[in-house]
Amino acid sequence: MNLGNKAAAEFFGTFWLVFGGCGSAVISAAFPEVGIGLLGVALAFGLTVLTMAFAIGHISGCHLNPAVSVGLAVGKRFSWSELPVYVAAQVIGGIAAAAVLYVIASGKAGFDVSAGFASNGYGAHSPGGYSLVACLVAEVVLTFMFLMVILGSTDERAPAGFAPIAIGLCLTLIHLIGIPITNLSVNPARSTGPAIFVGGWAIGQLWLFWVAPIVGAALAGVVYPLVAGKAK
């Protein structure tokens, strides 16, 4: 598969992740009487990855996340030479999804993008009021565990065909843990899209949602091979 096909797949896959996940938070989470709530938003994020893993996994590997691409590269599962193209496609896909979501959400009277627009934040902008340190640790640890699941479920020794299910359920689980802390990122592309439309504080705090996921993913790329050892 050529790099152009892979980049296109990553663009559309990341678009779906941000549109589906953030869209569920912005439009559906608190919808009167039948809102899907935290559990529904967490499930929506998991479903975006699950569906796209089956749809484009055979094209690009379905990273949908700069941190995942870095972690896979550190773990020697992905070429460093393709990393810049993947990251660019992912970030552009996330921004495009946020733009479409903004057009739809702003069509309702009373919409206020400054209310958050599913942006990630710490301190005063953490949903639960968690400190910068708490949010940093949470994003590093949750991304680390996400990558451990990705690396383990896609290991050639793992049962074939089940990786999308394990990865989608893992993303659901870490959202159940992390939404009250930071709105959960573990994905710089997912964070960048909404932050651009919120501006101000969201842009100012965006650094954490690049640094922490990449650190957590890179650590997993180092640790997983040490834990798993080499195939016989």
Residue ranges and CATH numbers for the domains of the chain are: 3-228 (1.20.1080.10)
Tens-place pLDDT, residues 183-200: 999 999 999 999 999 999
The pLDDT of residue 193 is 97
- Global pTM value: 0.94
In angstroms, the CA 45 to CA 12 distance is 15
Q: How confident is the model at residue 30 (pLDDT cuts 50, 70, 90)?
A: low
**31: pLDDT strictly greater than 90:** no
Residue by residue, DSSP assigns 116-138 as -TT----GGGSTT---HHHHHHH
Closest C-alpha among 67, 73, 71, 74 to residue 90: 67
Closest C-alpha among 13, 17, 74, 67 to residue 46: 17
Q: Are 190 and 94 in contact (CB under 8 A)?
A: yes
For the ranges 3-17, 62-76, 113-127, 206-220, the lowest mean pLDDT is seen at 113-127
**27: pLDDT strictly greater than 70:** yes
